[in-house]
Amino acid sequence: MGEYVVGRNPVLEVLKTDKEVEKLYVLNGELQGSINKIIGIAKERNIVIQQVDKNKLDSLSDGNVHQGVVALVTSYNYADLEDILDKAKSRNESPFIVILDGIEDPHNLGAIIRTAECAGVHGVVIPKRRSATVNQTVYKSSAGAVEHMLIAKVSNITNIINELKDKGLWIYGADMEGSDYHFNTSLKGPIGLVIGNEGKGLSRLVKEKCDVLVKIPMLGKISSLNASNAAAILIYEVVRQNHG
């Protein structure tokens, strides 16, 4: 099964990788700006290029802004947990892994992956069930960061947490009932940062497995942040403490 990557920047990013692009759909007469670069790379790689009308692109992009170009690529190749740990080791860095406990909105997943990639996170772990997976919306909302981030899709998040603990990582969960604020908590060394579902937060079993629960101050009338915003705050607190 293939995935559609939508928009000029995401398509350009995927063309820079080794991922197999099956076909490029380009809007009739749309040959200005970065589209020429995209077409040039596609021709060099002998990718089939098909000119289509706007209705066809609208249909393929499923409501996302396509900017006159859509690429059909092979399904995303997920990583293994060992791949993520090896990446940290190859960089001579303490592992920093973001674990997502049931993020269902693909826009949130894409935004979190984008932040994680910018912050130097070594990998993202998502569950196989009841979770958004990598699709065209995630590609788009991550601004192409999906192509540069190792993402592992696992059967059981709690088992992965146990495995990471055995390998020396400390697991920090984001929770409104956390023991202290994120900026008062030591987030140094090998870390797994767990972000819960948009509405329900961390599941009970995952919460129990975390070494420490941390909270973000809520001073307004709304009691919670969007999951991707909360993830960004916590990810960059880890960066600040380890690289500041």
Which tens digits make up the pLDDT trace of 68-111?
A: 999 998 678 899 999 999 999 999 999 999 999 999 999 999 99
**Rounded distance, CA 73 to CA 5, Å?**
7
Model pLDDT, residue 240: 97
What is the model's pLDDT at position 1? 46
Angle at 117 between CA 127 and CA 145, to 5 degrees: 85
* Mean pLDDT, rounded, of the chain: 92
More confident residue, 16 or 189: 189
Task: Note the pLDDT of residue 30.
Answer: 63
In the chain, the domains with their CATH numbers are 2-74 (3.30.1330.30), 81-243 (3.40.1280.10)
* Coil, strand or helix at 47: coil
> How, if at all, do strands 212-215 and 170-174 pair?
parallel
Lowest mean pLDDT among 14-23, 186-195, 206-215, 234-243: 14-23
| CA count, 13 A, side-chain hemisphere, 201 | 16
Beta carbons of 214 and 181 less than 8 angstroms apart: yes
Q: Which tokens belong to 130?
A: 């009841």
Q: Give which of 9, 121, 142, 150 is closest to 66, Cα–Cα.
A: 9
- pTM equals 0.78
As a whole number of angstroms, the distance between CA 58 and CA 25 comes to 11
202 close to 175: Cβ distance less than 8 angstroms: yes
Give the mean model confidence (pLDDT) for residues 210-229: 91
Instruction: Say whether pLDDT at 51 is over 80.
Output: yes
Beta bridge partners of 70: 6, 25
Query: Lowest-pLDDT range, 44-48, 69-73, 117-121, 200-204?
Result: 44-48
Note whether 42 and 98 are within 8 A (CB): no
